[in-house]
């Protein structure tokens, strides 16, 4: 199997997908009028930064593995004496979760899609208890609502089903 920086190239695909998505998102948001692009640009740059950290953390060197331990210790799998990068959730499942999130945001809106995706991810990827998963999803949704709707006074996208427009 081909490797890049001592890591199989397929292990870079989820982070690379997120990085390319963020770049495309930024290109599109900079076409918006200045007043309309303030928050999307912030989200785009944050996504680009996090995807870059994810890419770096997947390298097989000491720095990459140290970053992986700091950011996502569940991404490391102990094999014998050495840590090797093994995604716990799988490439297809990870891409599926991103697709579910985007479809959910567009169809049912942020406040319904976010807890649904968080709940599913916690149940499937981390094998958490249903009640704990529901509590974490509800808490994350509350933080999203408080930050964007209350503090920043931004209208959260309601989804096409509930009157949102593209």
- Domain chopping of the chain, boundaries: 1-88, 90-166
Q: Tell me the pLDDT tens digit for each residue of 95-111.
A: 788 888 889 888 998 89
Cβ neighbourhood burial of 24 (10 Å; 0-12, 13-18, 19+)? exposed
Tell me the sheet residues that pair with 78.
Answer: 83
Q: Give the predicted TM-score (pTM) of the model.
A: 0.53
Q: Tell me the pLDDT tens digit for each residue of 4-40.
A: 666 666 777 788 898 999 999 999 989 888 888 888 8
Q: Is the pLDDT of residue 45 over 80?
A: yes
pLDDT band for position 80 (cuts 50, 70, 90): very low
Q: What is the largest CA-CA distance in the chain?
A: 55
Q: Is the pLDDT of residue 88 over 80?
A: no
- Listed in sequence order, the residues at least 6 apart from 153 whose beta carbon sits closer than 8 Å to its beta carbon are none
Q: Tell me the pLDDT tens digit for each residue of 117-159.
A: 999 888 877 677 889 889 999 999 999 999 888 888 888 888 8
pLDDT band for position 72 (cuts 50, 70, 90): low
Please give the Cα distance from 7 to 13 (Å, whole number).
12
Please give the Cα distance from 114 to 54 (Å, whole number).
21
Whether the CB-CB separation of 41 and 30 falls below 8 Å is answered with yes
């Amino acid at each position: 199997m081909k490797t890049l920086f001592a890591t199989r190239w397929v292990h870079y695909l989820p982070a690379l997908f997120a990085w390319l998505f963020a770049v495309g998102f930024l290109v599109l948001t900079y076409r918006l009028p200045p007043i309309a692009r303030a928050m999307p640009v912030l989200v785009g740059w944050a996504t680009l930064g996090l995807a870059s950290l994810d890419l770096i953390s997947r390298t097989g060197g000491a720095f990459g593995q140290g970053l992986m331990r700091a950011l996502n210790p569940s991404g490391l799998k102990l094999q014998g004496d050495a840590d090797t990068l093994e995604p716990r959730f799988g490439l297809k499942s990870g891409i599926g979760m991103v697709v579910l999130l985007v479809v959910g945001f567009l169809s049912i809106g942020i406040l319904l899609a976010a807890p649904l995706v968080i709940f599913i991810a916690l149940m499937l990827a981390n094998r958490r208890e249903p009640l704990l998963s529901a509590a974490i999803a509800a808490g994350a949704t509350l933080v999203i609502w408080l930050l964007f709707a209350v503090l920043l006074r931004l209208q959260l996208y309601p989804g096409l089903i509930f009157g949102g427009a593209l």
